[in-house]
Amino acid sequence: MPPKSGRAASRGAQPHLGEALPIERKLELYYWMRLTRTLEERLVALYRQTKVVGGLFRSLGQEADAVGSCYALEQRDVMSPLIRNLGAMLVKGATPVEVLKQYMAKGDSPTRGRELNIHFGDIGEAGKTRGFLGQISPLGDMVPVMTGVTMTFKMRGEDRVGLVYVGDGATSTGAFHEGINFAAVQQLPLVVVIENNGYAYSTPTSKQTAAAQFVDKAIGYGVTGEQCDGNDVLAVYDCTKRAVDRARAGEGVQLLEFMTYRRKGHAEHDNQSYVPDGEIERWAAENDPIDRFVRVLLDREKVAQATLDEIDARVAKEVDAATDIAEASPFPEPLDAMIGVYADPPVEKPLWFREGADVSKLGKERAEGWGTFDAKGGK
């Protein structure tokens, strides 16, 4: 029997699942991390050109925790990201074009200009959907929603696992508590990842909780908990893969804590005046997840620098191509705002003072094909 709660049993003689990955899969992890960082750097450039409509949120320094954890899921599994999980979204099948269009509020973005950044989803039947469920801004809310998603897996006897990300700040919400507690009682195949990156906007973890560490909360919920170095992509993969396997085997909710650090502000507008001097620089110099993984690949795995350069060049080309498509995409038609509040009626009527607005072209037909995805980036 597995432990009912508290720390997962140590690996003992089990192999380290991250280190045991074949080299081509380790290079895939490198590719996803590099793509995440390069895509974000491109978004910064677009933001400075005022082509990003709203705020821009970076995951600089947290790429390993998003990529390594999501890489431990199967295609049929479902993941719900947070604002700094661009890497997880990419691993799960969201495309750079989709992300760029979202940020630029294009009419053929996955949400057709209705929602921002990575707030978009594609869930449903295994094999027919990519299995990610975009979050909403009130933090913690996705935990109970993913409780419902995994409850459905259990009801239908489907061999699928759910994974939901929360930050250190979201653990303070009622939604987090209610979601994980309900899932624990129901013994659902749900992995809850707490990314402890030191800050919730400007609030340091010391003001968020009196608990010494978040993984201790596992005991209170009667679930299995484990903590790992969130900036070591192989350790993150190892820790998550074992948790996913336990959840899939019917061992119930898994609570993971990844120790990481947010090197940028809450969003691009945030000057981080609240961060102690030298802290960011220290993490950048000593604990960058990509630098650390490059060391492992070059020194231990004996990968040639040229191999990494090739991946970097491929990533750059992909981001360039995606940017061209996103930039050329049209903005939404104003009238399209009236479609799809309800399934029935599919179109809202404009108010009397807008009676000149011709909604006749917004017939049922247009509304019906409304929410379908094209993974290649638009219709």
Partner 1 sequence: MAEITYLEAIREALDEEMARDHNVFLLGEDIGAFGGAFKVTEGLMKKYGEQRVIDSPISEIGIVGAAAGAAHMGMRPVVEMQFIDFIANAYDMLTNYVATARYRAFLPTPMVVRGPSGGYVRGGPFHSQNPEAGFIHTPGLKVVYPATAEDAKGLMKAAIRDDDCVLFFEHKYLYRRIKGVMPAGDHVVPIGKARTAREGRDVSIITYAATVHKSLEAAEKLAAEGIDVEVIDLRSLAPLDDEAIFNTVRKTNRVLIVHEDTRTGGIAGEITARINESCFAYLDAPVLRVTAHDIPLPYAPQLEDFVLPQVDDIVTAVRRLVGW
Nearer to partner 1, 21 or 161 (CB): 161
**Between 80 and 231, CB nearer to partner 1:** 80
Q: Name which of 56 and 184 has its Cβ closer to partner 1.
A: 184
CB of 291 to partner 1, least distance (A): 36
Q: Is 205 helix (H, G, I), strand (E, B) or coil?
A: helix
Name which of 134 and 167 has its Cβ closer to partner 1: 134
What's the rounded Cα separation, in Å, for the pair 320 and 62?
A: 23
**Shortest distance, CB of residue 307 to partner 1, whole angstroms?**
38
Q: In 3-state terms, what secondary structure has residue 276?
A: coil
Which H or E run contains 235? helix 233-248
Tokens standing for residue 305:
């620098």
* Least distance to partner 1, CB of residue 341, Å: 5
Q: Which of 163, 161, 234, 236 is nearest to 196 (CA)?
A: 236
Task: Order the strands of the 190-196 sheet from edge to edge.
Answer: 6-7, 224-229, 254-259, 190-196, 162-167, 78-80
Nearer to partner 1, 174 or 250 (CB): 174
Residue whose tokens read 């340091």:
204
Strand extents, DSSP E, the chain: 6-7, 78-80, 162-167, 190-196, 199-200, 203-204, 224-229, 254-259
Cβ 215 to partner 1 shortest distance, Å: 22
Measured from the CB atom, the residue of 120 and 293 that comes closer to partner 1 is: 120
Straight-line distance from the first to the last Cα atom of the chain, in angstroms, rounded to the nearest whole number: 51
110-131 in b/e burial notation, b at 16+ Cβ within 10 A? bbbbbbbbbbbbbbeebeebbb
- Find the shortest distance in angstroms from Cβ 334 to partner 1: 15
Q: Is the CB of 29 or the CB of 104 nearer to partner 1?
A: 104
CA angle 193, 17, 154 (to 5 degrees): 50
Q: Report the Cα 289 to chain-centroid distance in Å.
A: 17
| Per-residue tokens: 233 | 């992509």
Nearer to partner 1, 64 or 192 (CB): 192
Beta carbon of residue 64, minimum distance to partner 1 (angstroms, whole number): 28
β-strand pairing of 254-259 with 190-196: parallel
Q: Which residues bind partner 1 (CB under 8 A)?
A: 111, 114-115, 119-121, 123-124, 133-134, 136-138, 141, 143-152, 155, 174-175, 178-179, 181-182, 185-186, 340-344, 352, 370-372
Asked whether 132 and 122 are in contact (CB, 8 A), the reply is yes
